[in-house]
Amino acid sequence: MSMEHTQDFMPHGYCISWDVPLLTLHVLSDFFIALAYFSIPVGIIYFVSKKDDVTFKPVYYLFAAFILACGITHLMGIITLWLPVYYLAGVFKLLTAIVSVATAIYLIPKLSDMVALPELNELLLLNKKLTDENQSRKKAEMALEQSRTKLAETNKMLSTVLDAIPVRVFWKNHDLEFQGVNRVLLEDAGMNDVSEIIGKTDYQLPWADFADKYKKDDKAVLDSGRSMLQIEEELVDRNGNRLWAKTNKVPLLNDKNEVIGVLGTFEDITQAKIAEQELIVAKEQAEQANIAKSQFLANMSHELRTPLNGVIGTLNLLAATSLNARQSNLVNISKHSAESLFGLLNDVLDLSKIESGKLELEYHNEDLDELLAEVARGMAGRAEEKGLELLCPAHFMSSCVAKVDRLRLRQILNNLIGNALKFTEKGSITVDMTVIKKTMPEATLRFSISDTGVGISEHDQALLFERFKQLDGSSTRPQAGSGLGLAICRQLVELMGGRIGVSSTLGQGSTFWFEITTELVNRKGQPHQDSSLAGMSVIVLAENPTYKRYFADLLANWSVQHEIADSIDLFKEILFEHHHDQTCVLIMETDYFLNLDITALLSQLTFDVRFLLMTSQSQLTQVPEKTQQHDCILLAKPLMQSEVFNALVGLRNDMPTKQLQQPIKPVENAQFKDRKILLVEDNSTNIIVAKGLIQMYGPTVEVAENGELALNILSKQRFDLIFMDCQMPVMDGYECTRLIRSEEASVINHRIPIIALTANAMRGDREACLAAGMDDYISKPVDADTIHQMLKKWLAQEDITQGELPIMDESLESTTPVFDKANYSSRLMDDDNLMKQVALNFVADMPQQLEKLNEMIASEDYEQLAAQAHKLKGAASNMAAEQMHDLAVEFELATKEHVMERVAALYPMLMQAFDQLRDELDKELGLDT
């Protein structure tokens, strides 16, 4: 404290008024400043030493030295209060000044760089960004790891799939070095590990012998970038065995669609090739067998149809003679039955239909009442033999004329009725038809055949319509069959757009039914629309409930006064109570009539009676004498409504004869009496039939029994027409026709019309006949109408000179329709507007096409003529212009044979056919052309 109170101080400005508090203040402040100045540099130096990334380190060190020097200066300030070491204090101040100046000198140039240093916020943002990037990097690394795992799994799965593929799989790089193969290839190559093949080329592997070919194929894929697929080739394996392989090679692409390699598969198809060769051999054998079968069927067609032709032809001749009602009925039944057999035979022999499962339906207007009765009458004999009652139709049917395929409908009905007869031992079979839905002009018809037979279980009903399914498969079954009948019925019904079924109870009979939708056609003059029976009186004796209902509906519909008795006693009671001025008709079965004392019965009556007797087929052939003693008309069961009507009209008008219809008079037609016809036929029955039918129209007929005899006759005599059988001994009709057309033959008239007359039913026969040079075609059995049409068609002109052929005018009235509207409408989906538009285009274009044809005839350009005729044939076919189509076919054949006379003769026929077609189109479609 002595120093504090001494006055011996170096003079300072603030020491002029020195005192103890002031001194203490300065000492303490300088001391703590110096202490702080000494500690700050220590902290700075420690910080810089720990931070390697500190920028501008010299600044930190200079700043630390500056602060340290400042601290010494303050410390010297305390010391110099008492010690006069002013030089030392000055030195430290100088040192401080030097450090300060050095710091300033160093710092000033660095200021711009230091100013550019980021601020704290920026550093924080950068820090956050770095943190985020670090997290993203970690996520990416995790995703990469997952991808690697998934890729490994995919590769494993792909490897498994490739190894499971039963063909060799491989892939190569652009240098054609293998980059991978599947297990199959590895095993086939006899290798154990994929490393034995990876990186190698085909030249370094066991199949080096084929390396050149493989390289060529691989390079083609690499260079073109296109695949080579399904390449079959024959190879030799390493053991010398020949094998067949199927190879596929496709280019491998990178993400830039650049080809970087080839992927291929190699499949051993040796066994398949062996099987294919065996199949080819089997196919050839099958084709040979099929040809043999077709030839057999063609021959059998002739052999089967020839006697059947004789039967039908003889029946046609017989029908054209004077017959009474019974005889006419028998002839008609025989004829209808034979025609049904003939139609069925056609289907069996037509391989193209049967094997394809397609049948062509031909729709015509048919009276279904008459059709049903005809079918039933054909089966009536079998029913009588078994003691069964065959009822058809089961109720009165309003006259129903509909567009149906008569042959197919008869086939279905015959099959179903025959089936019912087969399995019914007692009772009756009822054939019925009802209209279940009518939306004019269409209606849905339901046909049913009910029997009182054994019935069918539910289990067996499900099998009925399958092929070759029979209810009793035992070898001792009483009723044999192929098991095809009901299956054929189903196919036919479905082809008609209908459906078929059965309802049955075992032991209680069955009802087979089918439904078809068809077009109803109005027909004038139907019995039920006639009023000529109004007021007539009829008494019916019928115990059968079906007949009772049938006559009640039928007679009521015709406005006939009637009463029904179901017993003889009731019948007599009604008869004796009857009081009427007009004649009364009594309807009953023949057996009732024979059991009654008719003479005694009539003696008790005060009015006239006549009898309409329902009789069996057998009774109709041997009419009981008793029926001839009274006014009786016999009608065979099953009844036809039209026959019942005609019988009642006949009885009312006091028909003097005891028959329903007058004898049929022979045809008297001398239209062709000056013509000579040559019939070339070898079968004696067919000669009688054909000759008789031709002579009905007046021509003189000469017969040659084979083609050779025909040529001999034609070289000596002139004929107007030839009917030529196709299959004959010595020389057939085809060869004979070719020789007649040939200029080398010595016949008088090479261009005489020749009509094919054949028993063949196979498709293509017509074309074969025309190709041989024949002019027209008749498929046996022939009938009077067909013969007449042919005679009119080819003998219509008065003058036919040698080498000339008839030009049809009225002769175009052939059986071939001018326009098949039903076919045309069906193909155009019944679209009236479309039908008219197509027809208008046809009518507008055809004159130009025919004119082109005429110009080509003038130039005799056969090649162009054939092409134009083919075009006309197609156009006519599209229009369903049947006559034009047939003429175009003949025209085309004539041009191909270079027969210009025939070509020139056919052209006016085509013109006339077009004119008739145009008139028909105006009439049917209302074109107003």
pLDDT in tens, 463-512: 777 755 555 543 333 444 445 678 778 888 988 999 999 999 888 899 99
Share in percent of the chain as helix, strand, coil (round to 5) = 55, 15, 30
Q: What is the mean pLDDT of the chain?
A: 78
Per-residue pLDDT at 801 exceeds 60: no
- Percent of residues, the chain, with pLDDT higher than 90: 9
459, 422 contact by CB (below 8 A) = no
Per-residue pLDDT at 356 exceeds 70: no
- Percent of residues, the chain, with pLDDT higher than 70: 81
* Rounded Cα–Cα distance for residues 620 and 639 (Å): 13
HSE at residue 496, side-chain half, CA atoms within 13 A, is 28
Most confident of 162-171, 648-657, 814-823: 162-171
Q: Per-residue pLDDT tens for 748-790? A: 888 899 999 876 545 556 777 888 888 888 877 777 778 888 8
At 559, the pLDDT band (50, 70, 90 cuts) reads confident
Looking only at the bridges linking them, the beta strands covering 754-758 and 721-725 are parallel
> For residue 779, is it left (φ>0), alpha (ψ between -120 and 50) or beta?
beta
Residue predicted with more confidence, 122 or 550: 550
Can you tell me the mean pLDDT for 295-322? 70
pLDDT of residue 481: 45
Cis peptide, bond prior to residue 166, ω within 30 of zero: no
Q: Nearest Cα to 747, choosing from 758, 759, 756, 739?
A: 739
What are the boundaries of each domain within the chain?
2-115, 165-268, 299-359+666-815, 361-523, 528-652, 816-929
pLDDT of residue 772: 85
Can you tell me the mean pLDDT for 84-99? 85
* Rounded Cα–Cα distance for residues 76 and 90 (Å): 9
Torsional sign, CA 198, 199, 204, 209: positive
Q: What angle do CA 272, 276, 278 make, to 5 degrees?
A: 115
At 347, the pLDDT band (50, 70, 90 cuts) reads low
* Rounded Cα–Cα distance for residues 902 and 740 (Å): 14
pLDDT of residue 902: 80
* Rounded Cα–Cα distance for residues 375 and 326 (Å): 18
Q: Nearest Cα to 468, choosing from 492, 489, 454, 485?
A: 485
99, 65 contact by CB (below 8 A) = yes
Can you tell me the mean pLDDT for 624-644? 75
Per-residue pLDDT at 716 exceeds 50: yes
Q: Per-residue pLDDT tens for 110-165? A: 777 777 777 778 778 888 888 888 888 888 889 888 888 888 887 778 777 777 77
**Four-CA torsion 474, 479, 484, 489, nearest 10 degrees:** -140
Fold held by 299-359+666-815 = Rossmann fold (3.40.50)
Q: Per-residue pLDDT tens for 1-10? A: 455 555 555 5
Can you tell me the mean pLDDT for 449-469? 79
Residues 6+ apart with CB under 8 A from 795: 672, 675, 699, 720, 721, 806
Q: What is the DSSP string of 513-565?
A: EEEEEEEEE--TT-GGG--TTTT-EEEEE--SHHHHHHHHHHHHHTT-EEEEE
pLDDT of residue 810: 37
**Burial (CB count <10 Å: 0-12, 13-18, 19+), residue 283:** exposed
3-state secondary structure 879-892: CCCHHHHHHHHHHH
Angstrom CA distances, 728 to 45, 502, 560, stand at: 137, 48, 60
pLDDT of residue 459: 79
Place of tokens 């109004």: 534
pLDDT of residue 800: 37
Q: Please state which CATH number belongs to domain 528-652.
A: 3.40.50.2300
Q: Which SS3 state, helix, strand or coil, does residue 192 take?
A: coil
Q: How far is CA 854 from the centre of its chain?
A: 41
Can you tell me the mean pLDDT for 344-355? 56
Give the CATH class of 816-929: mainly alpha
Give the CATH class of 361-523: alpha beta
Can you tell me the mean pLDDT for 683-703? 83
Residue predicted with more confidence, 584 or 18: 584
Tell me the whole-structure pTM to 2 decimals.
Answer: 0.43
pLDDT of residue 295: 64
Can you tell me the mean pLDDT for 97-120? 80
Q: What is the DSSP string of 579-592?
A: --SS-EEEEEEHHH
Q: What is the DSSP letter of 256?
A: T
Q: Per-residue pLDDT tens for 861-882? A: 777 888 788 778 777 877 888 8
**C-beta neighbour count of 729 within 10 angstroms:** 10
For residue 169, the surrounding DSSP H or E stretch is strand 168-173
pLDDT of residue 736: 94
Give the CATH class of 165-268: alpha beta
Domains 165-268 and 361-523 share a fold: no
